[in-house]
Amino acid sequence: MVYDTFSYLGFQINPNINYFIIFLISLVIGSFSLLLPARIEKPSQLLLLFTYYFIYIPNTVVPYIALNKADDYWVGILSYFTLCFFLLILIVNIKLKKQLKININIRNINYVLIGFILCMFIPVILFYKPNLSNIMNLVSLVDLYEWRDDYREKTKNIPSIVEYMFNWSAKVFVPILLILGLFKSNLRFIFLAFVFNLCLFVVSGHKSIFFSYFLILIFYFVLKRSNTSVSLVFPFISLIFISCFIFFIFKDTTLLSVFVRRMIHIPGMLSGFYYEFFLENGYSKYSYNILKGITFTNYSQTPPYLIGDYYFTKDGINANTGYLTQAYAEYGFCGGISIVLIVGIIYKFMDNLVEYSKSQKNFLILLFIIPTWALINGAFLTVFITHGFLLTMLFIILLKDKFVK
């Protein structure tokens, strides 16, 4: 069904599907569901939950269904993601008994933070000049790609620091403003966050920016009622079933494209492409950024653009995917293990801060929703700096001992 509808986007189909192998993969995946936390009480558990449902499941099942060479690679793909996920489970379940004392006391931090956010928005508005009237002219999701082309052209002539501010605004500042508004019952903050979010969306055309606002709202009300893992995943599963139902009844692919194609099929398909390409052609070895001049490859592009050019035969396609898949592109199994260790240690550090904080736990966990979601869809180094992961850590340190009513 999805293959026929989206075949023009590079989707393939395995002509020799063996349903016993699908059963075997599902059995392995299902067994790990027994190790998931029953409740989400710290950031690392949130990472584990998201990694399971939005990386581990699609990245092991979809490649076998949607790759021509699936029979050659499914064992390696399953082994890689299973090893990484199992290691992540071990790290998440490590108990730190000693409190890490990091205290930064700033008077009236909430208002200082709001002032800082507003100041960060001024250059973004001045340089990008968002036009909210574009919303009224939006006919279909295809129009968003024109917005993205315009965004890329604008970015070429804009200072790099302003580009960073744009990403930080979308991933950090707007979420913080919204979360503060929700916990303080401040409608002005909530409305201001919505307007800012809309401004960023009409500039870049990225659906992830638009939906991030509502993702936080959903998680806020779910966590307020229950912090069980099932409750947190239920909205996503419901959207997937609703999307499929609407497609079957009305033949409308709008929701199907967003919640099935984008959340399940594309990440899974790309994981297969990454595994195949870098296994056959050699790993990227971070030769384009942090290890440039130390490691050398024949690649002149970053992994997302390499995959985009090779599999989609179109220049400029950014085939971006999650932190585990990107790690494989760099150093294979060793790359995945290294990134899981680094990410796991960072999240355990944040767990410690949340556990011993005076603020409401749900408030601090909500601050990590968007950065964690960014990890599911991007490389660790990119998310850590460009998407504001490091900034979020700083704000959690600043807010961890402030009572949020």
* pLDDT at residue number 103: 66
Query: Per residue in 276-321, pLDDT tens?
Result: 999 999 999 887 777 676 777 778 888 998 898 888 876 677 888 9
DSSP code per residue over 71-131: HHHHHHHHHHHHHHHHHHHHHHTPPP-S--------TTHHHHHHHHHHHHHHHHHHHH---
First to last CA, the chain: 48
Q: What is the pLDDT of residue 265?
A: 84
Q: Residue 127 above 60 pLDDT?
A: yes
The widest CA-to-CA distance across the chain, in whole angstroms, is 65
For residue 292, the SS3 value is strand
Strand blocks (E) in 126-167: none
Average pLDDT over residues 237-266: 83
**Distance from C-alpha of 255 to C-alpha of 232, rounded to nearest angstrom:** 20
Q: What is the pLDDT of residue 135?
A: 81
pLDDT surpasses 90 at 332? yes
Residue-wise pLDDT for 133-188, tens only, equals: 878 777 666 677 778 878 888 888 889 899 999 999 999 999 999 999 998 889 99
Mean pLDDT check: name the lowest of 42-46, 67-71, 220-224: 67-71
* List of residues 6+ apart from 68 with CB closer than 8 A: 12, 14, 15
- The rounded Cα 247 to chain-centroid distance in angstroms is 25
Asked whether residue 98 carries a pLDDT value surpassing 80, the answer given is: no
CB burial readout 121-148, b (16+ within 10 A) else e: bebbeebbebeeebeeeeeeeeebeebe
- Give the integer Cα–Cα distance in Å for 88 and 35: 11
pLDDT at 44 > cutoff 90:
yes
Token pair listed for 218: 């959903």
Residue 39 to residues 26, 32, 120, 229, Cα–Cα distance (Å): 23, 16, 35, 5
51-60, 137-146, 213-222, 305-314: least confident range: 137-146
| Residue 1 pLDDT | 45
Among 220, 167, 191, which residue's Cα sits nearest to residue 363? 220
Q: Which token pair is 291?
A: 């290890």
> In terms of pLDDT, which residue wins out, 343 or 250?
343
State if pTM tops 0.85. yes
**pLDDT at residue 211 is higher than 80:** yes
| Rounded Cα–Cα distance for residues 228 and 387 (Å) | 27
Least confident of 64-78, 99-113, 316-330: 99-113
Q: Is the pLDDT of residue 8 over 50?
A: no
Q: How confident is the model at residue 119 (pLDDT cuts 50, 70, 90)?
A: confident
User: For residue 227, is pLDDT > 70?
Assistant: yes
Mean pLDDT calculated for residue range 254-274? 84
pLDDT in tens, 21-34: 889 999 999 999 99
Question: Rounded to whole angstroms, how far apart are CA atoms 289 and 329?
Answer: 14
